[in-house]
Amino acid sequence: MSAPLSRHHATSVAYVGLFAALMAVLGLVPKIDLPFGVPITLQSLGVMLAGCLLGGLRGFQAITLFLIAVAAGLPLLAGGRGGMGVFLTPSSGYLVGYALAAGVTGWLMRWLPVHSPRRAATSAFIASALGGIVFLHLLGIAGLMLFAKLTLQQAIWIDLAFVPGDLIKALLCAAIVHSVAKAMPDWRMGGRTSCHA
């Protein structure tokens, strides 16, 4: 009985490490700097994918591992940024929110229908939109208010600049989930115990 548990644990650790590495790879894509101190990057796509494909717990663990590496000074954020200082900038709400958003996205994905590739893709878009956009952006707005000293209205207007791009990322996440569900029908979307739930 202990061998299967060990294999399951090893697989979970491998997936957590893999998605932390995916976040670093997405950081190699050049960022687009905006005047208010929060860049546009591709790394929020990794947050959505971690939640949808790994589930809430492992998605949270993967992004937390990535953020720990960033805090330790590794230049893994888009533009080669790293160190504790990045968590004291106007973008800190989004950065801290990455791990929590992956958890929320995964939790939502766990309860949405995934019994066909098309349904899994639709559920991935919904989970990504709610967890990876709405929830993450609320934390981002809080960070803008705290570190950029903006009013709530100003922070909301600035945050709206990220919504169109993040909707495209949610669609891309849904397309990737569709491909995974089609090629690997036993993949446990959202970390659920039954792949056909």
Write out pLDDT tens, residues 167-184.
999 999 999 999 999 999
pTM of the full predicted structure? Answer: 0.92
pLDDT per residue as tens digits for the range 57-97 = 999 999 999 999 999 999 999 999 999 999 999 999 999 99
Measured CA to CA in angstroms, residue 12 lies from 70, 87, 172 at distances of 22, 28, 24
Tokens of 196: 């056909």
CATH numbers and ranges of domains, the chain: 2-191 (1.10.1760.20)
8 A C-beta contact, residue 41 and residue 47? no
Contacts 24+ apart (CB under 8 A), 26-30: 26/78, 27/76, 27/77, 27/78, 27/79, 28/78, 29/78, 30/78, 30/79
Contact 141, 155 (CB under 8 A): yes
